[in-house]
A and B are shown apart, each in its own frame.
Chain A
């Protein structure tokens, strides 16, 4: 089984191999939600929670699939679990915090197609993490995702007011920012290893 220490897993998932800036997972919400700091933090929180739940479920499903020797059902079961988790989270938030529900709006159901969640489930399965390692991995990935989102939101909010050439406005600008952030995060390489 996998020998990595819990600390190194966390650092790796959140900084060294940041899910957004190194693995390119979760780009759609990254570009779509990162315009405002408030929404970015909330989205990050929701994604982290869904990641935790999905990670635990994925661990269970993988164990089950190995037991019945049906590895080809992995993708379908993972995506089914993720979709249900998001549905549940949506109902939960709607009931207990209608304000948050309104603030997140369309983005909540979009978490289902967030590659970061499915990517998390697939990566942890490939690496053969134990239960505790999975949880730490999910926490690290969620933290890293939130960090990237928040950094991006802060930068974009500032740039909204700056004078930039018209051609760059919009997605092109966001992508260049993301590229710079990605280079910056490369500085974390070797940490925790």
Chain B
């Protein structure tokens, strides 16, 4: 892929929706499902990943002329692993509670195909500014996707959001939502929703195109 020709804002926006890492590209699934059983955990994980993504994009992009292509993957992984280790210790220092909840998945950010993928596909071929924006967009898109999964799971599985009780005491928690299966089901539901919206749009466009061509034929 050659250097991007989009405008800077486009670089940023595409990661949020059109090329959303979780919902569209279906990357980085493991953390999306594993730590999203509460909104707080999901958001923390999303932001941690976003941080690593932005930093690694920045570094890879600034070093792109310096790293020979034979060793590029190894170097990228080295850089990513460094930032992940950093995030690991910083989270431990900020909140032991959060660290226990996220557990080994912080370290597993290093194998998130999203980060290596962006480094290889984008940061190695674009300027630092563009790469940073790309990282920011993808990172925020990822965090947003994780948050939406986590929020749904927490609302139905614990009757709360960020720990604040939402429903009456008699609300029966949908425990399945907090369990691993709940993660699978919630993500499947979101994907279903997006597929449905996309299909409606396509059908709408088809109908519109059909109408236009009928008009032209007349």
Contacts and interface: CB of A to CB of B under 8 A. Distances in A.
Interface of A: 21-28, 31, 72, 75-76, 79-80, 83, 112-115, 118-119, 122-123, 126, 166-168, 170-173, 175-176, 178-180, 182-183, 186
A172 B88 contact: no
Majority SS of interface residues in chain A?
helix
Interface stretch (B139-147, B162-170, B175-183, B206-214): B175-183
Interface stretch (B9-17, B61-69, B102-110, B121-129): B102-110
Interface residues on B, range: 35 or more
Given A172-B188, A179-B185, A118 B111 contact: yes
Contacts of A112: 111
A54 to B, nearest CB: 12
Contacts of B84: 75
A85 B128 CA distance: 33
8 contacts: A80-B77, A113-B111, A126-B104, A175-B188, A176-B185, A179-B184, A179-B188, A183-B181
A175 B28 CA distance: 14
Contact of A166 (B89, B181, B199): B199
B199 A167 contact: yes
A119 B30 CA distance: 11
A79 to B, nearest CB: 5
A83 B192 contact: no
B108 A172 contact: no
Contact of A72 (B89, B176, B183): B89
Contact of B187 (A122, A173, A175): A175
Interface in B184-215: 184-185, 187-188, 191-192, 195-196, 199
